[in-house]
C-alpha cells in the first residue's frame, strides 16, 4: 500500500476547499473546433512550414478563441474540489463552501473509478473530460475540458485514499475509547 501524503490545511472534521477547476475553451464545441483546426498542421514534416501554418491559423482563429473564452465564462461551470466532494458551480455566481448542502455535487467516497476521455481537438489544448463513476459503473459526474486531467485524476484518487484512511483511523480511535 502506498503511503498517503497529508494535504496542508485539510482536516477530517471540516470541509475544506482543495482546488477549483475552470474549464478550458476546449470544453465547448467552438473551442473543440479551434483545437481540431490547430491540429491540422501536425502532419507537415517541415518544422519551419509547420510553425508558419500554426502561426497563421492562430492569428486567424484568435477572435474566435476570445469569443469562446468569454462565452465559457458567461455560461460555463467551474468545479470546486473539497476534501469531501466535487461540486459544480456557475462561474459568475460565487458560492462559498459553507452554503453547500450535503446533496450538492458528488461525494468523493462514492467515486470508485475516475476515467479520462479525450475528444478530437483536446490534444492541442492538452485537455480531457473527467468521468467520475460509482462502484456499479454508473456515471456520477462528467467534468468537460479540464486542463491536465491526469493531475486532477491523481488529486481525486489521493483525496479518496486519504479520506478512507482517515475514516479507518477514526474508527480505531473510537474502538480504543470504548474499550477503556
Cβ-contact 140, 133 below 8 angstroms: yes
Summarize pLDDT for 33-44 with one digit per residue, the tens.
Answer: 999 999 988 888
Average of pLDDT values for 167-173? 81
Residue 46, CB-side half-sphere exposure with 13 Å CA sphere: 4
Burial of 155 (0-12, 13-18, 19+ CB in 10 A): middle
CA separation for the pair 44, 146 (Å, rounded): 28
Q: If you search the block for the grid coordinates 497529508, which residue do you land on?
A: 6
pLDDT digits (tens, 9 = 90+) for 135-152: 999 999 999 999 999 999
Question: Is 4 a residue whose pLDDT tops 70?
Answer: no
Supply the pTM of this predicted model: 0.79
Residue 107: φ, ψ to 5°: -70, 135
Measure the CA–CA gap between 18 and 79, rounded to whole angstroms: 11
pLDDT (mean) for 121-129: 92
Distance of alpha carbon 157 from alpha carbon 90, whole angstroms: 25
What's the pLDDT tens digit per position in 6-15? 555 556 567 8
Residue 131, beta-bridge partner list: 115, 142
β-bridge partners, 133:
113, 139
Which grid cell sits at 15?
470541509
Query: Is residue 96 predicted with pLDDT exceeding 90?
Result: no
Q: Encode pLDDT of 43-70 as tens digits.
A: 888 889 989 999 999 999 999 999 999 9
3-class DSSP assignment, residue 39: helix
Amino acid at each position: 500500500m502506498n503511503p498517503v501524503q497529508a494535504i496542508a490545511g485539510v482536516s477530517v472534521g471540516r470541509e475544506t476547499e482543495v482546488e477549483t477547476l475552470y474549464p478550458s475553451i476546449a470544453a465547448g464545441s467552438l473551442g473543440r473546433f479551434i483545437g481540431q483546426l490547430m491540429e491540422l498542421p501536425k502532419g507537415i514534416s517541415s518544422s519551419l512550414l509547420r510553425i508558419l501554418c500554426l502561426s497563421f491559423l492562430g492569428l486567424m482563429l484568435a477572435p474566435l478563441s476570445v469569443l469562446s473564452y468569454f462565452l465559457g465564462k458567461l455560461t460555463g461551470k467551474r468545479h470546486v474540489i473539497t476534501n469531501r466532494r466535487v461540486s459544480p458551480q456557475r462561474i459568475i455566481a460565487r458560492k462559498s463552501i459553507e452554503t453547500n448542502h450535503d446533496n450538492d455535487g458528488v461525494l468523493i467516497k462514492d467515486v470508485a473509478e475516475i476515467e479520462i476521455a479525450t475528444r478530437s481537438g483536446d490534444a492541442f489544448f492538452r485537455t480531457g473530460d473527467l468521468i467520475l463513476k460509482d462502484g456499479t459503473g454508473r456515471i456520477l459526474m462528467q467534468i468537460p475540458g479540464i486542463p491536465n486531467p491526469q493531475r486532477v485524476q491523481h488529486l481525486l484518487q489521493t483525496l479518496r485514499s486519504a479520506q478512507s484512511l482517515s475514516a479507518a483511523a477514526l474508527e480505531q480511535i473510537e474502538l480504543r475509547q470504548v474499550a477503556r
